[in-house]
Amino acid sequence: MKKILSFLMIFVFAATVLNAQYNVLLVDDDDNTPEADPIVTALTNWGGTYATHTTSASGVPDSITMSTYDMVIWYTGNDATTKLWNVSDTTGVGAGAAKFNNAVQGFVENGGVLWIDGLDFIYDLYGSAPDDFAAGDFVYDKLGITQYLSQSHVDDGTFSDGVQQLDKSISNTITTLDPITWSYLTLWYCDGYAINANATALYEMGPTGYDLADQISAFYYNNIIASSIRIAKLGDGTNIVQAKIDLLVSEMIAAAQSGNFSAAVNEISKLNINIYPNPAKESASINISEINNASNIAVYDITGRIVYSKAISGQKHITINTSDYASGIYNVIINSGNETYTTKLSVVK
């Protein structure tokens, strides 16, 4: 018995140390505060290191703050005017015209795991479904969404007024909760998506026979998880069930810690890209002739702040003025279709 107790104590200690080494930031971007409180409780029960940030009170967390975390859970709840995007009024914005706000963009480009959950973060950009996306559209390139298909309650016909549950996808090896239900009999405004072949479905609308059954509502693509779950409202049809929220949150964080959600970053060798001079002082010339269809270049400082960004379609050489840059190492990020490439630029003054 003593050996068993000693083993359990060691296991608990090891799990606590592991969690303590992984930092999670919960961004409450839902003005229906305190809706996100059950997620805070789930993070407390998880036992790791976390912090919370409420956008309605404090605005968007800055890049320095975000750079200190391994994972960000960006919760939009049921709020149709989120601060996730880089425009203040996103109603009617066309495909390809918007990106994440600069802090989130830098966090993702530098490999951080982003979990966006809520009912309106795509609606906020594009309004009612349907919408189709192609290469060059941000949600296609970065989130892996090919089509915004529907919203429950709006598009589900006469079978049911809202989606009754989300069923675990066959490709989901991340979580065990199945099915997902809420503190309501049905969930209104749950989004249905079609995703590209490299994205992985987690949950789909159900049950079998529901008008929108099998449309994907939660998935991940590289280091971004997008879900229309509304995790703070998981329940039994009448009440919130904290144990369900605890399970989903802890399993998603465990998957992130294990490296399931990895940034699609190709480290370019010096044979493929040339920066001269490197280290730079006043300027740096970047040769990207080996990269096909490069569309955008961005430079991030060590905190994840964007210091340079430019559309470069058709260009093979770019000159960056570094005279105002502080000494240090900078990440150079080049987007090309569905691929992202990165290399390092050193600045010495």
Domain assignment of residue 86, yes or no: yes
User: Do 335 and 307 belong to one domain?
Assistant: yes
CA 166, CA 235: separation in Å to the nearest integer?
12
User: Do 253 and 299 belong to one domain?
Assistant: no
Domain assignment of residue 271, yes or no: yes
Packed helices 242-257 and 37-46: angle between N→C axes, nearest 10 degrees: 60
pLDDT tens for the chain, residues 1 to 349? 333 333 333 333 334 444 447 999 999 999 877 899 999 999 999 999 999 999 989 999 988 888 889 999 999 999 777 899 987 555 555 555 678 988 898 899 888 999 999 998 998 888 889 999 887 788 888 899 999 999 999 999 866 789 999 999 999 999 999 999 999 999 999 999 999 988 999 999 999 999 999 999 999 999 999 999 999 999 999 999 999 999 999 999 999 998 899 877 555 544 467 888 989 999 999 988 888 788 888 888 766 677 888 888 888 889 999 999 988 888 888 877 656 777 888 898 8
Domain assignment of residue 6, yes or no: no
User: Do 184 and 316 belong to one domain?
Assistant: no
- Write the CB contacts of 305 (distance below 8 Å, at least 6 apart in sequence): 63, 64, 102, 103, 106
Question: pLDDT value at position 97?
Answer: 64
Domain assignment of residue 187, yes or no: yes
Sign of the dihedral defined by the CA atoms of residues 143, 147, 148, 151, in that order? negative
Domain assignment of residue 244, yes or no: yes
Domain assignment of residue 150, yes or no: yes
Q: Give the CATH number of the domain where residue 224 resides.
A: 3.40.50.880
Domain assignment of residue 9, yes or no: no
User: Do 253 and 272 belong to one domain?
Assistant: no
For residue 220, what are the domain limits?
23-257
Question: pLDDT value at position 154?
Answer: 94
What would the pLDDT profile of 64-122 be if each residue is shown by its tens digit?
888 889 999 999 999 777 899 987 555 555 555 678 988 898 899 888 999 999 998 99
What would the pLDDT profile of 36-63 be if each residue is shown by its tens digit?
999 999 999 999 999 999 998 999 998 8
Domain assignment of residue 143, yes or no: yes
